[in-house]
Amino acid sequence: MKESEHFGFYQTSRQNYWEDTRKYNDFTDEVMFGIYEDKGGITCELFMRWYELGGKSPPRFEMCLASIPPMEAQTLLRIIQSALDLGDDPSPEDFCKCLTKLGFKDLSDNPPE
């Protein structure tokens, strides 16, 4: 990772635009995480999204393999493993806490409740 980059995440439901955009999404919440540039921009970004499914909201991991720098793949795989260790249905808040413990910076507009 370059010196001008950092690991970070955004919880979509804590973004200022959430209320305006949620009607266009088919997920109930989302955590975008990855490697971000200090001056703005994204090196790579992955998504954990929660969808309403049979009365539950299980998470679904989404990513684009082409966007992951080879040197960071192992670190990002450890994050996925940590998420799996949270149990069957971790909440978005659980996942954010996991990312924070792993050294990711919370870049969300609003702090957790």
Name the amino acid, one letter, at 55.
G
Picking from 81, 78, 83, the residue whose alpha carbon sits closest to that of residue 98 is 83
When pLDDT is averaged across residues 69-97 and rounded to a whole number, the result is 79
Contacts of 16 (CB under 8 A, 6+ apart): 109, 110
Query: Could you read off the pLDDT of 13-63 as tens digits, one per residue?
Result: 999 998 888 888 889 999 999 889 998 888 888 899 999 888 888 888 887
Name the amino acid, one letter, at 56.
K
Domain assignment of residue 101, yes or no: yes
Q: Which two tokens stand for residue 20?
A: 């305006």
Domain count, the chain: 1
Domain assignment of residue 111, yes or no: no
Which domain does 93 fall in, by range? 5-106
Query: Could you read off the pLDDT of 3-16 as tens digits, one per residue?
Result: 999 999 999 999 99
- What predicted TM-score, i.e. pTM, was given to this entire model? 0.84
Domain assignment of residue 112, yes or no: no
Q: Is pLDDT larger for residue 85 or for residue 10?
A: 10
